[in-house]
Structure 1
Amino acid sequence: MLIQKHTKLLVSIAVVLPALVLLYIYLQPLVNLLTYDLFGLKPDSHLGASINFFFYDTVKILILLFLISSLMGVVNVYFPVERLRVFLTTKKLYGLQYFFASFFGAVTPFCSCSSIPLFIGFVNGGIPLGVTFAFLITSPLVNEVAVAMFLGFFGVKATLVYAVSGIALGMVGGFVLGKLKLDRYLSDWVKAIQTNTERADEQWEAEHTPFVDRLPIIITEGWNIVKKVLLYVIIGIAIGAAMHGYVPENFFTQYLSSDKWYAVPMAVILAVPMYANAAGIVPVIQVFVAKGVPMGTALAFMMAVVGLSLPEATLLKKVMTWKLIGIFFGTITVFIIVLGYLFNLIL
């Protein structure tokens, strides 16, 4: 019975995976057929361009998102949070702990607000504050959602630059903030927990579950991620489609063009009051770039939107004083601006 169940699972994967790949390859002709032949819209009309953009990008991003979410599910299953916590608090890593925390932030599907409970757990579990900052910085910036959408919108080169720089930002930001010895600015609530809680050595026991038995759970969780961000994807792509079809070409370049030295800091400062996750903002960034905004300026705007938000600051108030929140936001803002200028040079 178990063998039969495994066989059905593997056969289903063998059928569905090639079907998704073929759909991805032939998606644009199919969308053109739907938009221009069945719906009768004109390719050169504002509505036709917007509808075509919406259908194509929505399906493309959902396919990539499901595949990459499932792949990252394998990483998450075999590299769980508790194992990371024990690893970072018991091993001599000679600075590599910043990389591990930042990398873990990159492979976990959290926005800035949903990553804060893990941040609190890390602080209360005895992980150094700088290492927890490395996780908090990278977690909303780089995840399978952002990577899937970037890969679909901008290609391999831009995706690699974005992912590597996001992880590097977490490492450097965590290291700098750690060296500033900011533990005294944690809230009294956190200090009380750290003082009164006895920390026993916790052992992580590996689960010797065969991979084929884990696979249905991994695929289900990958689909659950897609469902959780589906609304953000649709809203973000809808906004991007409207901008793509109706916003004049020179609207964004007028204020954020490469010949304006203040474009990058202006993009970052304007982004902070906003809040969106990667699924909602990446389609908008694609339109920015299509309208002539330099890639570095657009990326800086996106990083500030997903990584420096007012809701995040509100939640962080539970574990930090306003002074520490200000230091955290100010430091990351400077790093994002520097990255924006760097991106404009290399992309």
Structure 2
Amino acid sequence: MGNITQIFSMLNDQLLKMNWLSDLIKLLVENVFGLSISDQIGGSLHFFIYDTIKIFILLSVLIFVISYIQSYFPPERTKKILGGIKGIKGNILGALLGTITPFCSCSSIPIFIGFTAAGLPLGITFSFLISSPMVDIASLLILMSFFGAKIAIAYVVFGLLLAVVGGTLIDKLGLEDQVQGYVRQIENTESVELEMTRQERISFAKEQVVDIIHRVWLYILIGVGIGAAIHNWIPQSVIETVIGNNNPFAVLLATAVGIPMYADIFGTIPIAEALIGKGVGIGTVLSFMMAVTVLSLPSLIMLSKVIKPKLLGIFVAIVSTGIILIGYLFNASQGFFV
């Protein structure tokens, strides 16, 4: 058992955490640029280059694999599967479906419209809308590479739980009349499912990698840049005063700060890494990440064109309340994760 654990730890360090890449970038910074990574400039440069390359490598590989799997579940097949299931089972399936769709919140909304136009129960579509930008297989593995298995798995489990509960509550409230009329009137034509060849699945996966990287690269660079600044330039005392464990409103503040921002989970991870390195509570950091990915202001503006103000307000209230409760729960049990 000890040998198996050692092998797993080595694979985790080299494949997910990419310690070899960290060592390589250290040599680059110190020998080529003549900077020490213990200094602010050298440390920031090492953080920025290492995290950027690491995220893009992991993201490319994982999106390729996930997209290849996703090619077996075209929209029409997905609608048929979800259409036959109602109640809590449907919400769970809708949330799980979100885990194989690595989209940001704005990219999830067109799929949400398609599901709604197809007549799927509102609760299922909202479970999907919550889980899709927040939780997916790629984010699980990337979170593991930065924070370890406990935090990554807990984030995914609670993210799915929030999606299921949120979708269930919206379903129970009977708010079907709060969807904009034009959505229900969208023509829903049945298309013929064409079985893809292996080469077509590979081409589809490659196209997805290029498309998603094209859409998120800027936010990743911004996130890594902010993370590098927090990690090396902002004093720990300042961070602890504003959103440290001694501030009882830290989770509320982190959630409020996250909502106006727009990024996917991959852009928030470097910021989260830097905040945890500064001693910020895990729950506070996860609340920030969830708020950015699910309740970003641009996605809420887009969603307001699809659903009426009452349903939009209920959606924001349910999700933000869930995010805040998860944050305080994680902070209270932080000893288990560290």
Shorter-chain TM-score bucket reads 0.7 to 0.9
Counterparts of 1:214 and 1:159 in 2: how far apart (Å)?
29
1:43 aligns with 2:42: no
Residue correspondence of structure 1 range 110-189 to structure 2 within 5 A: 110-144=103-137, 146-189=139-182
Distance in 2, matches of 1:60 and 1:264, equals 28
Aligned to 2:68: 74
User: Would you say 1:320 and 2:314 are equivalent positions?
Assistant: no
Can you give the 5+ residue segments of structure 1 that lack an aligned partner in the other structure? Answer: 1-19
Which residue in 2 is equivalent to 1:302? 289
1:103 has 2:96 as partner: yes
CA contact (8 A) 1:83 1:204 kept: no
Deviation at 1:145, TM superposition (A): 5.0
> Based on CA coordinates, which of the two structures has the bigger radius of gyration?
1
Is 1:88 matched with 2:85? no
Report the equivalent of 1:215: 202
Aligned residues: 321
1:247 aligned onto 2:234: yes
- C-alpha distance in 1, partners of 2:179/2:211? 34
Q: Secondary structure at the match of 1:115?
A: helix
Q: Distance in 2 between matches of 1:208 and 1:28?
A: 39
Instruction: Determine helix, strand or coil for the equivalent of 2:305.
Output: coil
TM-score normalised by the chain length of structure 1: 0.85
CA apart distance, 1:279: 2.3
Give the letter for the 1:268 counterpart: T
Q: Which residue of the partner structure matches residue 270 of structure 1?
A: 257
Q: Deviation string for 1:113-172 (max 9, x for gaps)?
A: 111111111111100111110011111111355334323321222111111221121111
Q: Whole-Å Cα distance in 1 between the matches of residues 63 and 196 of structure 2?
A: 23
Letter in 1 for 2:308: T
| Number of the residue aligned with 2:193 | 205
What TM-score results when the alignment is normalised by the length of structure 2? 0.88
RMSD: 2.3
Unaligned 5+ segments in structure 2 are 1-13
Deviations 1:9-35 (CA, angstroms, capped at 9, x unpaired): xxxxxxxxxxx9599452122111100
Q: Which amino acid aligns with 1:250?
A: S
Q: Is 2:216 the counterpart of 1:229?
A: yes
Give percent identity, aligned residues only: 39
AA aligned to 2:142 is M
**Distance apart, 1:204 and its partner CA:** 5.9
Q: Give distance in 2, aligned partners of 1:25 and 1:251.
A: 30
| Secondary structure, aligned partner of 1:78 | coil
